[in-house]
Amino acid sequence: MNPFHLDASATVGASGSGTIRVGQSVTDSALLAMTGTLSVGPAGGVTLAGAGATVRASAIAIAAGGSLLVYGPVAGIGQLDAGSDTSLTLQAAIGPGQTVLFAHDSMVMLNDIGAFGGTIDGFGPGDTIATGGLPYSASGTATLQADNVLEINEGNQAFRLQFDPPQDFSNNAFRLDRPRSRVGGTIHRR
């Protein structure tokens, strides 16, 4: 393993472009660890290239206009902040100790929705959850259950997403729409 440890917070791509690549190939086991927050600016990027590549931070924040693609699983206790007008793509399992925090006009792609065990917080009008990897079904539904659990039924499959229990959705409904890519669906709050 090739470790890199930073005893502070760091910003990637705050002005100009910047990229951090953790691992060089799919067989690498590399580690980027920090005690503070890893912020990804509008021109920044973080790539976990190796199957064993790991980023450890107390929080990962995406600035307005930025995007973050996470190929590997996210475990432990932490928070992924999707700032205003950002894109966060999660390709693998997200552990139950993780919180995905939305801001206005955030988009989070869950490519393996069945492996999402975290909590969603701050989801509001203008935000989107994309359910990649599922066949779209015109009869698909997204229904809020007790304790802010959203049940998604799409393509003869059912999945559950846990929203922050104190968040109030009493005057809102959720809708499942066909995405432009025609794969999966997109969840919006009405």
Q: Which of 129, 134, 24, 12 lies closest to 68, judged by CA? A: 12
Q: Residue 2: helix, strand or coil by DSSP?
A: strand
Distance CA 99, CA 120 (A): 6
d(Cα 156, Cα 141) in Å, to the nearest integer?
Answer: 11
Query: What value does the mean pLDDT of the chain take?
Result: 77
Q: Between 40 and 100, whose confidence is greater?
A: 100
Phi, psi values for residue 2, rounded to 5° = -105, 95
If you average pLDDT over residues 172-186, what whole number do you get? Answer: 69
The lowest-confidence range among 44-48, 53-57, 128-132, 179-183 is 179-183
Query: 176: which 2 tokens?
Result: 């499942």
pTM over 0.75: yes
Which of 10-24, 25-39, 78-92, 95-109 shows the lowest per-residue confidence on average (mean pLDDT)? 10-24
Task: Give the helix/strand (H/E) hosting 86.
Answer: none
What percent helix, strand, coil does the chain show, rounded to 5? 5, 50, 50
pLDDT value, residue 6: 47
Q: Where are the domains of the chain?
A: 2-136
pLDDT recorded at residue 101: 92
**Among the listed ranges 45-49, 83-87, 129-133, 184-188, which one has the minimum average pLDDT value?**
45-49
Helix (H, G, I), strand (E, B) or coil at 147: helix
Asked if residue 37 has pLDDT above 60, the reply is yes
List 142's β-bridge partners, or say none.
152
160/116 Cα distance (integer angstroms): 9
Task: Answer whether 140's CB lies under 8 Å from 156's CB.
Answer: no
Those residues with Cβ within 8 angstroms of residue 166's Cβ, 6 or more apart along the chain or in another chain: none
Number of residues that make up the chain:
190
Is residue 116 within 8 A of residue 149, CB to CB? The reply is: no
Question: Mapping DSSP to helix (H, G, I), strand (E, B) and coil, where does residue 146 land?
Answer: helix
Tell me which residue of 164, 126, 130, 129 sits closest to 148, measured CA to CA: 164
Res 161: pLDDT: 95
